[in-house]
């Protein structure tokens, strides 16, 4: 997108799912970052209208203006209405944040068809309809779109089969939009949160023991916050990401990189335990059969052998 005169993020933005959690934090971050440019012009959308109005008051106290629009993104008429309201309120659109999402926990074998359709309507169809409705305005402003997806879009998550599938589809939608709309100057990227504490995930962390287990599983040894995600969204929408499109930015504290380290390592761990200074005590290297690399006796012949 075209950088602003100051270092601020986009002035005119539409944020869905803005009443709580990640969406609320993104709206507050955009308002804060736009203060040098005279404040943000934010259209806030959610089903929780009272909470949107409370947020709007906070944004106004920061020098921004807020346009509140209540609506259920499961209704195919709502995305277009939200975009139209944003354009009418502020005369254009620099950024679109498709953040609203839902989950219907259920094993796939027991997932009701109406639940499957509802999850896909909000999580996958709505970002498409929002982007399509906003395309002309974003082309004019050479703007950017961020779609909040999930680590579950690339990692099957039981019992959230419909949710995982919808987020995987949404990741491909982001890539498709980025490829098709790049020539129009529109950037489209995905923000995939990992384990984030929000009002929507409160139940998952109600048990302190479960929370601690999850924290320890994350390499950074903490859960993410909505503010962590807002910082990533602000980057993707701003001028510092001017050459980034079609990307998935996985903000998970390194969780997705722990697959191999979570597996039993058997003999490898036993060997290390038996020889604390294994590297210095191993036999001298001998030429490999191929004459190219060398390997120690018992060493795997290639990196692939460890995969």
- Asked if residue 137 and residue 187 are part of one domain, the reply reads yes
Per the domain annotation, does 248 fall within a domain?
yes
- Asked if residue 285 and residue 248 are part of one domain, the reply reads no
| 298 or 37, which is more confident | 37
Per the domain annotation, does 132 fall within a domain?
yes
294: phi then psi, degrees, rounded to nearest 5? -115, 160
Predicted local distance difference test score (pLDDT) of residue 27: 98
- Asked if residue 224 and residue 186 are part of one domain, the reply reads yes
pLDDT in tens, 41-61: 999 999 999 999 999 999 999
- Asked if residue 73 and residue 145 are part of one domain, the reply reads yes
- Asked if residue 272 and residue 168 are part of one domain, the reply reads no
How many Cβ atoms from other residues are within 10 Å of residue 146's Cβ?
A: 28
Q: Which of 104, 163, 205, 243 is catalytic?
A: 163
Please name the helix (run of DSSP H) or strand (run of DSSP E) that holds residue 280, with its range, or none: helix 278-281
| 227 or 286, which is more confident | 227
- Asked if residue 238 and residue 94 are part of one domain, the reply reads yes
Domain residues for the domain of 113 are 12-258
Residue 23: both structure tokens together: 């969406």
**Mean per-residue pLDDT for 29-33?**
96
- The pLDDT > 70 percentage for the chain reads 83
Catalytic (active site) residue 104: no
Per the domain annotation, does 216 fall within a domain?
yes
Catalytic (active site) residue 163: yes
pLDDT bucket at 24, cuts 50 / 70 / 90: very high
Alpha-carbon distance values, 266 to 187, 190, 269, 277, 303 (Å)? 46, 38, 6, 18, 17
Coarse DSSP helix, strand, coil percentages of the chain, rounded to the nearest 5 percent: 50, 15, 35
Residue 23 has pLDDT above 80, yes or no: yes
Nearest to 96 by CA among 70, 72, 132: 132
- Asked if residue 287 and residue 234 are part of one domain, the reply reads no
Residue 26 has pLDDT above 80, yes or no: yes
Residue 268 has pLDDT above 70, yes or no: no
- Asked if residue 283 and residue 161 are part of one domain, the reply reads no
pLDDT bucket at 8, cuts 50 / 70 / 90: very low
Per the domain annotation, does 119 fall within a domain?
yes
Predicted local distance difference test score (pLDDT) of residue 192: 98
Per the domain annotation, does 4 fall within a domain?
no
- Asked if residue 193 and residue 88 are part of one domain, the reply reads yes
- The pLDDT > 90 percentage for the chain reads 76
Residue 266 has pLDDT above 50, yes or no: yes
- Asked if residue 137 and residue 283 are part of one domain, the reply reads no
Q: What is the dihedral of CA 28, 145, 20, 115, to 10 degrees?
A: 180
Per the domain annotation, does 242 fall within a domain?
yes
pLDDT bucket at 36, cuts 50 / 70 / 90: confident
- Asked if residue 165 and residue 272 are part of one domain, the reply reads no
**Mean per-residue pLDDT for 77-99?**
98
pLDDT in tens, 270-295: 667 776 665 555 455 444 433 443 33
Residue 243: both structure tokens together: 């050459």
Per the domain annotation, does 6 fall within a domain?
no
Q: Which of 104, 167, 205, 243 is catalytic?
A: 167
Residue 137 has pLDDT above 70, yes or no: yes
Predicted local distance difference test score (pLDDT) of residue 168: 98
Per the domain annotation, does 2 fall within a domain?
no
Question: How many whole angstroms separate alpha carbon 150 and alpha carbon 154?
Answer: 8
- Asked if residue 191 and residue 45 are part of one domain, the reply reads yes
Domain count across the chain: 2
* CATH number (domain holding residue 179): 3.40.50.720
**Mean per-residue pLDDT for 190-201?**
95
Residue 2 has pLDDT above 90, yes or no: no
Predicted local distance difference test score (pLDDT) of residue 281: 54
Predicted local distance difference test score (pLDDT) of residue 260: 83
Residue 30 has pLDDT above 90, yes or no: yes
* Mean of per-residue pLDDT scores for the chain: 88
Which positions ≥6 away from 265 have C-beta within 8 Å? none
Predicted local distance difference test score (pLDDT) of residue 204: 85
């Amino acid at each position: 997108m075209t950088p602003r005169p100051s270092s601020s993020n986009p002035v005119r933005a539409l944020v869905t799912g803005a009443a709580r959690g990640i969406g609320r934090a993104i709206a507050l971050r955009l308002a804060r970052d736009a203060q040098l440019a005279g404040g943000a012009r934010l259209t806030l959308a959610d089903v929780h209208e009272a909470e949107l109005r409370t947020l709007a008051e906070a944004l106004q106290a920061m020098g921004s203006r807020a346009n509140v629009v209540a609506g259920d993104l499961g209704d195919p008429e709502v995305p277009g209405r939200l975009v139209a309201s944003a354009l009418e309120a502020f005369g254009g659109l620099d950024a679109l944040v498709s953040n609203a999402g839902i989950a219907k926990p259920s094993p796939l074998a027991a997932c009701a068809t109406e639940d499957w359709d509802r999850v896909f309507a909000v999580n996958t169809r709505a970002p498409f309809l929002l982007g399509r409705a906003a395309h002309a305005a974003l082309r004019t402003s050479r703007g950017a779109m961020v779609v909040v997806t999930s680590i579950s879009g690339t990692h099957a998550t039981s019992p959230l089969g419909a949710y995982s599938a919808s987020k995987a589809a949404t990741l491909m939608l982001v890539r498709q939009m980025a490829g098709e709309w790049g020539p129009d100057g529109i950037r489209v990227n995905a923000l995939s949160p990992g384990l984030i504490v929000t009002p929507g995930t409160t139940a998952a962390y109600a048990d302190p023991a479960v929370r601690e287990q999850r924290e320890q599983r994350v390499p950074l040894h903490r859960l993410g916050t909505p503010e962590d995600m807002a910082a990533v969204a602000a980057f993707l929408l701003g001028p510092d990401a001017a050459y980034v499109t079609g990307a998935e930015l996985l903000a998970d504290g390194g969780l997705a990189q722990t697959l191999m380290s979570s597996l039993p390592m058997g003999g490898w761990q036993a060997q290390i335990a038996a020889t604390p200074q294994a590297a210095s005590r191993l036999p001298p290297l001998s030429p490999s059969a191929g004459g190219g690399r060398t390997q120690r006796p018992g060493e795997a012949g290639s990196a692939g052998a460890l995969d």
